[in-house]
Homo-oligomer: A and B are copies of this chain.
Amino acid sequence: MTPGRYAGRSKKFSEIATRVCNWGRWGADDQLGTLNLIDDEARRRAVACVRSGRAVALGLELSETRGIQAGIIPGRINPLRTMTHLNTPLSEDPEWICSNEDVVVMGTQSATHWDALSHVSYGGLLYNGHPATSVTARGASRCGIDLVRTLVSRGVLLDVARAKGVEVLEAGYAIRPEDLDAACELGRCEVQSGDVVLVRTGQMLHLALRHPALGQAAGTSSGSGPSAESSAPPARRDPVRYAWPSPGLTMDTAEWFWSHDVAAVATDTLPLEVFPCEEPETFLPVHLLHIVEMGMTQGQNWVLDELADQCADDGAYTFLLDATPLPFADGTGSPLNPVALK
């Protein structure tokens, strides 16, 4: 299992990595990691959560002018959608059928997305020991996002912000296992094997999102419930402030996810983990624990405010979640519009 892999790494990282490593757990050739924990039974359990039939979309609007990328990460360009047909007659009669079509260019990680297990490596190795060199200019010949044929399971919202009674966790707040437990308690739910866990920090307050269909600010609508008492500043769109400093997950929580056999995790932040990072010399350790050691698929920039309001309203923090990525051949991630069905 490559015991010397942690040589030179921080004590904390090495100890946790040793405990949560899933290499070989699903065979030497496995490329799916903890998604193996999702089976028909898990999906039936998800279906059993549905009560009202209400559906909530969790994807950010895909827009150039309102995109969340602020030029911090090279290449992650906001979605630029342009028209290839615009009121273009398709026949000789200009009064007959005219069509509109568009083309888009976007970073696959630029908005609400999954990172594939091919997204990060260290020491030359991806999850399960697949060589980092298996990713080339043609894409990820190992652990590509298209191997995730479907991603449907029970979703559990852990509303850490609400559990702490704030609209948004403070800048750089380091989420601890106790915070996750407290959120479970708020939701009166228990995380089970194969669940997909959504951790809410409230950080999208800084994006001043509007619910397009409702024409109202998310910050406003999420003002109900415990957060109503908070004295958060009025929402103002600030993508840089959204990006960082950011509350987020810590190395210790990797063990929590591992011991609960979580299938995948997503948050309403850009880096997912607390940023700046816990140890100055250990950059983005939670990425490596999740993706490389555990083989756990990570989601970022998920819109959780409307869902959180609904969960607070009906008291049910579990739901059927469809978070199937787009099948980009050999892709290292995928935009998606996840849907929670309650």
- Closest residue on chain B to residue A132 by CB atoms: B87
Partner of A97, one of B66, B98, B288: B288
Is A47 a contact of B53 with CB atoms below 8 Å? yes
A56 located at the interface, meaning its Cβ lies under 8 Å from any Cβ of chain B in the complex: yes
A172 located at the interface, meaning its Cβ lies under 8 Å from any Cβ of chain B in the complex: no
A26 located at the interface, meaning its Cβ lies under 8 Å from any Cβ of chain B in the complex: no
Is A80 a contact of B77 with CB atoms below 8 Å? yes
Proximity bits, A96-134, B CB within 8 Å = 1, else 0: 111111111111110000000011111110000000110
Given A103-B105, A120-B98, is A43 in contact with B328 using a C-beta cutoff of 8 Å? no
For the complex, what is the distance from the CA of A77 to the CA of B140, rounded to whole Å?
A: 21
Is A119 a contact of B139 with CB atoms below 8 Å? no
Is A104 a contact of B103 with CB atoms below 8 Å? no
A62 located at the interface, meaning its Cβ lies under 8 Å from any Cβ of chain B in the complex: yes
Q: How many residues of A are in contact with the other chain, CB < 8 A?
A: 99
Is B284 a contact of A90 with CB atoms below 8 Å? yes
Stretch at the interface among A195-203, A226-234, A243-251, A330-338: A330-338
For the complex, what is the distance from the CA of A123 to the CA of B55, rounded to whole Å?
A: 36
Is B52 a contact of A40 with CB atoms below 8 Å? yes
For the complex, what is the distance from the CA of A99 to the CA of B108, rounded to whole Å?
A: 13
- Closest residue on chain B to residue A138 by CB atoms: B88
Is B122 a contact of A95 with CB atoms below 8 Å? yes
A57 located at the interface, meaning its Cβ lies under 8 Å from any Cβ of chain B in the complex: yes
Stretch at the interface among A142-150, A162-170, A174-182, A309-317: A142-150
A4 located at the interface, meaning its Cβ lies under 8 Å from any Cβ of chain B in the complex: no
By a CB distance below 8 angstroms, the chain B residues around A105 are 80, 103-105
Partner of A339, one of B39, B91, B322: B322
Is B341 a contact of A325 with CB atoms below 8 Å? no
Is A328 a contact of B79 with CB atoms below 8 Å? yes
Is B132 a contact of A57 with CB atoms below 8 Å? no
For the complex, what is the distance from the CA of A133 to the CA of B100, rounded to whole Å?
A: 11
Given A322-B322, A337-B325, is A146 in contact with B61 using a C-beta cutoff of 8 Å? yes
A12 located at the interface, meaning its Cβ lies under 8 Å from any Cβ of chain B in the complex: no
Is A91 a contact of B326 with CB atoms below 8 Å? no
Is B62 a contact of A326 with CB atoms below 8 Å? yes
By a CB distance below 8 angstroms, the chain B residues around A75 are 64, 80, 82, 84-85, 101, 103
Is A97 a contact of B74 with CB atoms below 8 Å? no
Closest 3 CB pairs of A and B: A75-B84, A86-B137, A40-B53
Seen from chain A, the residues whose Cβ lies within 8 Å of a Cβ on chain B are: 8, 39-44, 47, 50, 52-57, 59-66, 71, 73-77, 79-88, 90-91, 95-109, 118-124, 132-133, 135-140, 146-147, 149-150, 152, 212-213, 283-284, 287-288, 320, 322, 324-333, 335-337, 339, 341
What are 10 A-B contacts defined by CB distance under 8 Å? Answer: A42-B53, A47-B47, A47-B341, A62-B331, A63-B328, A87-B137, A91-B283, A97-B122, A103-B106, A104-B108
Q: Told that A77-B80, A80-B84 touch, could you supply 16 new A-B pairs with CB distance under 8 A?
A: A44-B52, A62-B328, A73-B101, A81-B329, A82-B103, A83-B139, A83-B332, A84-B107, A84-B137, A86-B86, A88-B136, A97-B287, A104-B328, A104-B331, A137-B137, A325-B337
